[in-house]
């Protein structure tokens, strides 16, 4: 059956002998959770091992997929597979990775074992690790799903394990935070479900074919009326905006992060927020190119508001974890403006930032968790001078924090630079405002670092133990990734860019009068040319031609900004 | 022999397909046999367990007959086509009997603990089931009325069967008075529709409306409005839901489970028969009314569920909100809408029986300890029970990989296909509100503060579950999860039943 569909779908591409890799990748953690559930309660020592084993299998598979991934055809779906699921409704189990999702899958599969090994369950280990594994299966499933219903199912299922992790193992107002998190996200995706079904039915009645939820089939055959597509895009975008979270639907995030257990915060920041940004690219730009262009100014505006608002709010926080949470709002704003810059630089930067933010903020939350474990407080005012008793901890924190700030040579810089380049070409002034956000990030993070680690260490602060071996080993991969992607991002960009180019080309193909906003640079003009052109007033260089195209788009954009 | 005797009689008897009627005959005969045996055999000879065993056996036997009939090619028509055992009737019958079969194993322990007479309860359950089956197969408004009355009267008595509890009597009385009131509406509606079309046969009503254009259709409209009110009462659609919460809470919990599953299924079968099938040509007239009804039911059910502090009452209001979801499928007035309704009915029946069984297990000697505080710390006292209830509640909230998600998906798809986008949106938003109610139960079970939890865990002993109830809960949870992962099986059944 797979072969038959393959023939009718020329974009699909399968490179490897072991095509079931992605399905196994998703199912192994789920199976691990079932194993945990069946285990007797008398062997608590084994729970962590089983969880670690299951997530490590997934991690190894993910690394294998990364190694086998054909960078030359990163724009098409590899390891692609389709099984029938609910035949009567046209729903299938369809998985595949391209350059957009590859690194998200790898990052997810690598962070889970680290979070499992790095943080012990405070109590009731069995359900804790079972929920972690369910969460991993859900996140991985979301990134590899190529069927709209399958995507929705995984996108939604991650709520449940995270709800229980926050509520069961969290701190403070955990029941409140967990419920708020659940309801906010569920509300967003409630409308998306209606939109998905409407999209499939409208598409099927326009194409005359049977109802299908196949992402590529719908995306590559744009049939919907402009207005309809815009409504549907809004419903999708709302679901993703809640998850990202974009201003003004971000209010669940600080509560969830602050009250979640450390591993929960790590996964929430590193992986779950990416479900939203990834969704905006794959199920926003790709499915609704015209609507994405139409609403790009709105989304960019919200992104910029998020950057500035998140930064200011972060600077005002007294709780270290809440500070990092608000910094996420700011960083995710960058990803959104990169995405909706709608050019290669911006979108590549956005995808890179998804991975970078996952690594940096994941590591930051781990470190905050370590500080909390030592000092039993996250109040910045009660911490101070930790550098003296715990120099290693301070050093690691420094590197991670600087990567989050975007210091050149570390991973954050590469992504942010690309995002700002892209945004500058598309929406110059918004890029300028967003760039101010980079400075603000330096302000609140450095200030926090200074208050926590510098100064005299008094009382309990002076007794803070340094990094233990295990903690060091958990942090090492994060540091390696931070430095590697900062110094030599080429292998990553090589795989991301073809996919990004394909999406941008897809948008250009399907939106009349839209051209990728690129740098509007005058070509070097020689003296002879200058002399010749003085007679012909209407002579235009190639660059100006592109500029005209841009002008059309830019005009529409400015209009939209007025609306926003 | 019987046939030969009948042939000698001077009256002409209709040709009746008795095997086709087995799903009706078996429960009625089973009820009568049980009633007779119980009144003749002293109770020390016949232990009370046998009532439930008998009920279970009768339900299973009837289910087998349903399966046999399902595999026949031709649909069964009996009594001059007044009773039709077509795909939809058989499917709803299976839901009704399945609910009975699921409730029966929980009865012995429950009846003993609470002090409810198990023989009477079992007889009434079987009679109600017979009535529900007649409703599902009714092809005539009069037969529909007969089935509805048989079912309802049995249900009124069942609701009041917990004689030690005042609320149970109140539940029975409330149910009876309001039910009788609604029956009057239904009868008046039948009369008006008869007046407008000259027939009570659903088939012929449909044919009549197909063939003739009514110049003055006021009587038909008034009649269908009355029918909608009457049936709306039975399925507890807002604003006719007022009886439901009190009755659900007051009635013995296994009875509540049946009211949420079997009674509701029969009511919706009747709604589909009357509106989608007989009045299908007048869909433009009644669809707006059902649209409004669905919106009101969804909103009232989920909002009021969210503010309750009693688990049983939360489930009662959530049952109202589920009725709203099912109405969304009815409103689509299409074959896929009918398929979605059937799917939802089957899924919800199992979830409802499972959830109410958990409540019944915890409800104590008088079947009245159902507050959220009695659930506090259940996760540490009875982790498996808490997990089971959690799965059932998440299914009700429509979380993926549970049957509840697939059911919601199917009605939403039917509504969207019928271009009722806003109804779909209202339904999904109300699902979020209802989710808050379910999460409150989950919070009570799992996330009470540790000091609090230790306290309650110490004072409250581990509730005894019992083999029967345990098996039912396990079966319900397995069904819910399995159907969430591979819904294709049930989906193809409902498509066939709806004639897709």
DSSP lists the bridge partners of residue A82 as A94
Q: Which residues are A81's β-sheet partners?
A: A95
User: Which residues, numbered 379 to 408 in chain B, qualify as contacts with chain A under a Cβ-Cβ cut-off of 8 Å?
Assistant: 394, 397, 399-401, 405-406
Q: Given an 8 Å threshold on Cβ–Cβ distance, is B424 in contact with A197? A: yes
pLDDT at A518: 78
Task: Compute the nearest-CA separation of B77 from chain A (Å).
Answer: 29
Q: Work out the end-to-end distance of chain B between its first and last CA atoms, rounded to an integer number of angstroms.
A: 42
CA distances from A552 to A230, A423, A467, A513 (A): 20, 17, 56, 7
> Among A40, A168, A194, A239, which would you mutate to test the B interface (most chain B Cβ atoms within 10 Å of its Cβ)?
A194
Q: What is the mean pLDDT of chain B?
A: 89
Strand-pairing partners, residue A146, are none
Closest CA to A106 of A218, A274, A255: A274
Residues A537-564: tens digit of each pLDDT? 444 444 444 444 444 344 334 443 334 3
B495 to chain A: which residues are within 8 Å by CB?
A: 88
Record: contact B425-A197, CB cut-off 8 A: no
Residue among B48, B153, B144 nearest B104 (CA)? B48
Cα–Cα–Cα angle for B297, B428, A158, rounded to 5 degrees? 135
**What distance in Å separates the CA atoms of residue B54 and residue B171, rounded to the nearest whole number?**
27
Decide if B412 and A174 are in contact by the 8 Å CB cutoff.
no
| Counts of helices then strands in chain B (DSSP H, E) | 23, 2
CA A537/CA A521 separation, integer angstroms? 19
Judge: B409–A164 Cβ closer than 8 Å, yes or no: no
Residue of A29, A84, A197, A259 for testing the chain B interface, max B β-carbons within 10 Å: A197
Return residues 408-447 of B near A (CB < 8 Å).
409-410, 412-413, 416-417, 421, 424-425, 428-429, 431-432, 435-436, 439, 442-443, 446-447
Measured between CA atoms, the residue of chain A closest to residue B384 is A37
Residue corresponding to tokens 């680290």: A114
More confident residue, A57 or A13: A57
A151 vs A134: CA distance, rounded Å:
15
Question: Across the interface, which of B401, B412, B425 has its CB nearest the CB of A157?
Answer: B401
Query: Quick one: DSSP state of residue A325?
Result: H
- Residue A9 carries which DSSP code? -
Residues 6+ apart with CB under 8 A from A92: A82, A83, A84, A85, A147, A150, A213, A214
Q: Which of A89, A168, A191 sits opposite B446 (nearest CB)?
A: A168
The string of pLDDT tens digits covering residues B23-74 is: 999 999 999 999 999 989 887 888 888 999 999 999 999 999 999 988 887 7
On whether ipTM exceeds 0.85, the answer is: yes
B447 and A159 in contact by Cβ < 8 A? no
Q: Inform me whether the pLDDT recorded for B169 exceeds 70.
A: yes
Q: Which residues pair with B201 in a beta bridge?
A: B140
pLDDT, tens digit (0-9, with 9 covering 90-100), for A364-401? 999 999 888 888 888 888 888 888 888 898 999 999 99
More confident residue, B75 or B481: B481
Do residues B451 and B369 make contact, with C-beta atoms less than 8 angstroms apart? no
What phi and psi values does residue A390 have, to the nearest 5 degrees? -130, 70
A85 touches chain B (CB under 8 A): yes
Of the candidates B104, B100, B151, B91, which has an alpha carbon nearest to the alpha carbon of residue B344? Answer: B91
Side-chain half-sphere CA neighbours of B151 within 13 A: 29
Q: What is the pLDDT of residues A91-101, one digit of tens each?
A: 889 998 988 99
Which pLDDT score is estimated for A534? 65
The C-alpha R_g of chain A, in whole angstroms, comes to 24
Calpha distance B352→B257 (Å, rounded)? 6
> How far is C-alpha B409 from the geometric centre of its chain's CA atoms?
20
Contact assessment for residue B270 and residue B235, using Cβ atoms and an 8 Å cutoff? no
* pLDDT confidence of residue A124: 82
Closest by Cα among B196, B190, B128, B195 to B157: B128
Which positions in chain A touch B305 (Cβ < 8 Å)?
none
Nearest to B412 among A86, A157, A194 (CB): A194
> How many CB atoms lie under 10 A from the CB of residue A453?
24
Q: Report if residue A417 sits inside a domain.
A: yes
Q: B408, B416, B457: which to substitute to probe chain A, counting the most A Cβ within 10 Å?
A: B416
* Residues A12 and A76: beta-carbon distance below 8 Å: yes
| Residue A181 counted as domain residue | no
Which B residues in the span 230-249 are in contact with A, Cβ-Cβ below 8 Å?
none
Backbone phi, then psi, for A342, in 5-degree steps?
60, 35
The minimal CB distance from B412 to the residues A186, A187, A193 is found for A193
Q: What is the mean pLDDT of residues B193-212?
A: 91
Cβ–Cβ gap B488/A159 under 8 Å:
no
| Distance separating alpha carbons of residues A47 and B164, to the nearest angstrom | 48
Structure tokens at A85: 């699921």
For B381-396, give the secondary structure using H, E and C. Answer: HCHHHHHHHHHHHHHH
Separation of alpha carbons B415 and A435, rounded Å: 46
* pLDDT for the residue numbered B7: 65
Cβ separation B428–A85 shorter than 8 A: no
Q: State the smallest CA–CA distance between residue B89 and chain A in angstroms.
A: 22
For residue A174, list chain B residues with Cβ-Cβ distance below 8 A: 447
> Does position B409 have pLDDT exceeding 50, yes or no?
yes
A183·B435 Cβ contact <8 A: yes
Percent of chain A with pLDDT over 70: 90
Whether A16 shows a pLDDT value over 80: the answer reads no
Residues 317-336 of B with CB under 8 A from A: none
The residue among B390, B411, B287, B393 whose CA lies nearest residue B339 is B411
Asked if the Cβ–Cβ distance from B399 to A163 is below 8 Å, we say no
**What residue numbers bound the domain in which A500 lies?**
288-511
- How much is the average pLDDT of B398-427? 92
- Asked if residue A113 lies in contact with residue A59, where contact means CB atoms within 8 angstroms, the answer is yes
Q: Could you give the percent of chain B with pLDDT greater than 70?
A: 94
CA distances from B460 to A54, B377, B446, B454 (A): 38, 10, 15, 10
pLDDT score at B364: 81
| Count of domains forming chain A | 1
Closest chain B residue to A228 measured between Cα atoms? B421
pLDDT at A9: 40
Report d(CA A371, CA A367) in Å as an integer.
6
Q: Are the CB atoms for B324 and B239 separated by under 8 Å? A: no
The secondary structure of residue B41, as a DSSP letter, is S
Say whether residue B492 is in contact with chain A using an 8 A CB cutoff. Answer: yes
Q: Is residue A79 part of a domain?
A: no
Q: How many CB pairs under 8 A join A and B?
A: 84
φ/ψ of residue A78, rounded to 5: -110, 165
From CA A144, how far away is CA A108, in angstroms rounded? 11
Indicate whether A1 pLDDT > 60.
no
Q: What pLDDT score was predicted for residue B377?
A: 79
Summarize pLDDT for A32-59 with one digit per residue, the tens: 999 988 888 777 778 888 999 999 999 9
pLDDT tens for each residue of A197-241 = 999 999 988 888 888 898 888 888 888 888 899 999 999 999 999
Instruction: Name the residue of chain B whose CA is nearest to A171's CA.
Output: B449
Task: Please name the member of A88, A157, A197 whose beta carbon is closest to the beta carbon of B416.
Answer: A197
pLDDT of residue A84: 85
Distance of alpha carbon A342 from alpha carbon A344, whole angstroms? 7
Residues in chain A: 564
The verdict on a CB contact (< 8 Å) between A160 and B399 is yes
Report yes or no on A484 lying in a domain. yes
| Surface of A (157-176) touching B: CB under 8 A | 157, 159-160, 163-164, 167-168, 174-175
Q: pLDDT tier at B138 (50, 70, 90 boundaries)? A: very high
Phi, psi of B18 (to 5 degrees): -65, -35
> Mind listing the pLDDT tens digit for each residue in B98-137?
999 999 999 999 998 888 888 999 999 999 999 999 999 9
Candidates A509, A510, A553, A503; CA nearest to A344 is A503
* CB-based contact B443 A175, cutoff 8 Å: yes
Separation CA A24–CA A59 (nearest Å): 11
Q: From the candidates B432, B437, B449, which should be mutated to test the interface with A, based on the most A CB atoms within 10 A?
A: B432
Tokens of A1: 């059956």
Q: What distance lies between CA A246 and its chain's CA centroid?
A: 13
Residue in chain B lying closest to A166 (CA): B447
Helix (H, G, I), strand (E, B) or coil at B140: strand
Task: Supply the pLDDT for residue B266.
Answer: 95
- Cα angle A492, A485, A317 (rounded to 5 degrees) comes to 120
Write the DSSP symbol of residue B310.
B
d(CA A207, CA A304): 38
Residue B81 has pLDDT above 90, yes or no: no
DSSP 3-state of B68: helix
**Comparing A63-72, A289-298, A520-529, B52-61, which segment has the lowest mean pLDDT?**
A520-529
Q: Is residue A417 predicted with pLDDT exceeding 70?
A: yes
- Inter-chain touch B447–A152, beta carbons under 8 Å: no
* Whether the Cβ atoms of residue A190 and residue B428 lie closer than 8 Å to each other: yes
- How are the residues of chain B apportioned to helix, strand and coil, as percentages rounded to the nearest 5? 80, 0, 20
Which residues in chain B have Cβ-Cβ distances shorter than 8 Å to A186?
397, 431-432, 435
Of B394, B421, B424, the CB nearest to A160: B394
Q: How far apart are CA B280 and CA A63, in angstroms?
A: 58
Q: Do A88 and B431 touch (CB under 8 A)?
A: no
Nearest-10 Cα torsion for B192, B195, B197, B201: 70
- Give residue A550's pLDDT: 42
**Which among A86, A175, A194 has CB closest to B424?**
A194
Q: Residue B358 above 90 pLDDT?
A: yes
3-state secondary structure of B72: coil
Residue A208 · residue A162 · CB < 8 Å: no
């Amino acid at each position: 059956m797979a072969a038959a569909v393959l023939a009718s779908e020329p974009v699909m591409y399968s490179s490897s002998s072991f095509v079931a890799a992605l399905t196994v990748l998703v199912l192994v953690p789920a199976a691990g959770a079932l194993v945990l559930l069946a285990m007797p309660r008398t062997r608590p020592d084994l729970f962590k091992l089983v969880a670690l084993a299951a997530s490590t299998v997934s991690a190894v598979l993910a690394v294998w997929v990364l190694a086998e991934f054909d960078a030359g055809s990163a724009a098409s779906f590899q390891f692609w597979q389709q099984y029938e699921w609910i035949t009567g409704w046209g729903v299938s189990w369809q998985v595949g990775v391209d350059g957009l999702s590859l690194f998200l899958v790898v990052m997810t599969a690598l962070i889970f074992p680290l979070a499992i090994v790095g943080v012990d369950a405070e109590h009731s280990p069995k359900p804790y690790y079972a929920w972690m594994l369910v969460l991993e299966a859900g996140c991985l499933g979301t990134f590899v799903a190529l069927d709209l219903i399958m995507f929705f199912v995984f996108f939604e299922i991650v709520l449940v394990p995270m709800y229980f992790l926050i509520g069961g193992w969290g701190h403070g107002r955990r029941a409140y935070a967990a419920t708020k998190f659940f309801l906010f996200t569920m509300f967003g995706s409630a409308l998306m479900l209606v939109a998905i079904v409407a999209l499939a039915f409208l598409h099927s009645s326009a194409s005359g074919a049977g109802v299908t939820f196949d992402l590529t089939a719908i995306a590559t055959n744009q049939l919907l009326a402009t207005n309809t597509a815009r409504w549907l895009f809004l419903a999708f975008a709302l679901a993703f905006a809640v998850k990202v979270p974009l201003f003004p639907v971000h209010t669940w995030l600080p509560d969830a992060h602050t009250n979640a257990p450390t591993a929960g915060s790590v996964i929430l920041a590193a992986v779950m927020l990416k479900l939203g940004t990834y969704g905006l690219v794959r199920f926003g730009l790709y499915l609704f190119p015209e609507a994405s262009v139409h609403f790009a100014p709105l989304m960019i505006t919200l992104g910029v508001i998020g950057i500035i608002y998140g930064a200011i709010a972060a600077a005002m926080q007294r709780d270290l974890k809440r500070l990092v949470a608000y910094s996420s709002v700011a960083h995710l704003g960058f990803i959104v403006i990169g995405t909706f810059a709608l050019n290669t630089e911006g979108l590549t930067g956005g995808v890179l930032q998804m991975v970078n933010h996952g690594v940096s903020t994941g590591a930051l939350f781990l470190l905050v968790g370590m500080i909390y474990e030592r000092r039993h407080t996250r109040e910045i005012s009660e911490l101070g001078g930790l550098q003296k008793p715990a120099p290693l901890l301070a050093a690691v924190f420094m590197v991670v924090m600087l990567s989050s700030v975007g210091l050149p040579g570390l991973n954050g810089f590469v992504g942010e630079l690309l995002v700002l380049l892209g945004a500058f070409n598309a929406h110059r002034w918004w890029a300028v405002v967003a760039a101010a956000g980079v400075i603000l990030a330096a302000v609140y993070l450095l200030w926090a670092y200074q208050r926590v680690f510098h100064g005299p260490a008094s009382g309990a602060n002076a007794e803070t133990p340094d990094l233990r071996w295990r903690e060091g080993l958990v942090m090492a991969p994060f540091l390696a990734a931070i430095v590697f992607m900062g110094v030599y991002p080429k292998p990553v960009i090589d795989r991301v860019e073809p996919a990004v180019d394909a999406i941008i080309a897809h948008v250009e193909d399907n939106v009349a009068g839209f051209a990728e906003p690129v740098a509007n640079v005058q070509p070097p003009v020689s003296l002879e040319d200058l002399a010749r052109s003085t007679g012909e007033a209407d002579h235009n260089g190639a660059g100006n031609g592109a500029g005209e195209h841009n002008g059309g788009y830019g005009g529409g954009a400015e209009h939209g900004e007025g609306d926003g | 022999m019987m046939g030969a005797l009948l042939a000698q009689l001077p009256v002409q008897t209709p040709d009746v397909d008795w095997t086709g009627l087995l799903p009706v005959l078996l429960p009625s005969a089973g009820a009568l046999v049980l009633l007779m045996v119980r009144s003749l055999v002293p109770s020390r000879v016949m232990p009370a367990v046998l009532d439930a065993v008998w009920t279970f056996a009768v339900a299973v036997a009837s289910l087998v007959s349903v399966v046999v009939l399902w595999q026949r090619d031709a649909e069964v028509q009996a009594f001059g086509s007044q009773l039709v055992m077509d795909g939809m009737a058989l499917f709803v019958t299976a839901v009704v009997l399945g609910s009975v079969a699921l409730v029966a194993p929980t009865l012995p322990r429950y009846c003993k603990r609470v002090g409810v007479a198990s023989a009477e309860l079992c007889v009434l359950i079987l009679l109600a089931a017979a009535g529900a089956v007649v409703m599902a197969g009714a092809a005539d408004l009069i037969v529909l009325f007969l089935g509805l009355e048989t079912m309802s009267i049995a249900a009124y008595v069942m609701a009041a069967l917990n004689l030690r509890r005042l609320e149970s009597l109140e539940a029975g009385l409330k149910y009876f008075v309001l039910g009788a009131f609604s029956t009057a509406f239904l009868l008046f509606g039948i009369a008006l529709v008869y007046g407008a079309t000259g027939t009570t046969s659903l088939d012929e009503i449909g044919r009549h409306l197909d063939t003739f254009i009514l110049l003055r259709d006021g009587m038909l409209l008034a009649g269908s409005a009355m029918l909608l009110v009457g049936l709306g009462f039975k399925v507890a659609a807002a604003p006719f839901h007022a009886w439901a919460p009190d009755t659900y809470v007051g009635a013995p919990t296994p009875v509540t489970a049946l009211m949420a599953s079997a009674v509701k299924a029969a009511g919706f079968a009747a709604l589909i028969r009357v509106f989608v099938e007989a009045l299908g040509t007048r869909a433009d007239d009644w669809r707006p009314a059902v649209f409004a009804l669905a919106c009101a039911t969804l909103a009232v059910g989920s909002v009021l569920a969210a503010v309750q502090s009693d688990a049983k009452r939360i489930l009662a209001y959530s049952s109202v909100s589920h009725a709203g979801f099912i109405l969304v499928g009815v409103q689509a007035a299409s074959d896929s809408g009918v398929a979605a309704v059937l799917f939802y009915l089957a899924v919800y029946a199992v979830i409802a029986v499972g959830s109410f069984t958990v409540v019944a297990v915890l409800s104590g000697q008088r079947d009245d300890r159902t507050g959220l505080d009695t659930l506090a710390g259940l996760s540490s006292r009875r982790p498996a029970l808490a997990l089971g209830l959690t799965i059932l509640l998440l299914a009700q909230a429509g979380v993926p990989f549970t049957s509840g998600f697939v059911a919601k998906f199917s009605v939403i798809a039917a509504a969207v296909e019928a271009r009722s986008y806003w109804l779909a949106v209202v339904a999904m938003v109300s699902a979020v509100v209802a989710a808050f109610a379910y999460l409150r139960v989950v919070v009570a079970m799992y996330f009470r503060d540790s000091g609090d939890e230790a306290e309650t865990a110490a004072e409250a002993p581990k509730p005894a579950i019992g083999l029967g109830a345990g098996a039912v809960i396990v079966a319900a949870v397995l069904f819910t999860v399995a159907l969430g992962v591979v819904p294709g099986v049930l989906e193809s059944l409902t498509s066939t039943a709806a004639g897709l």
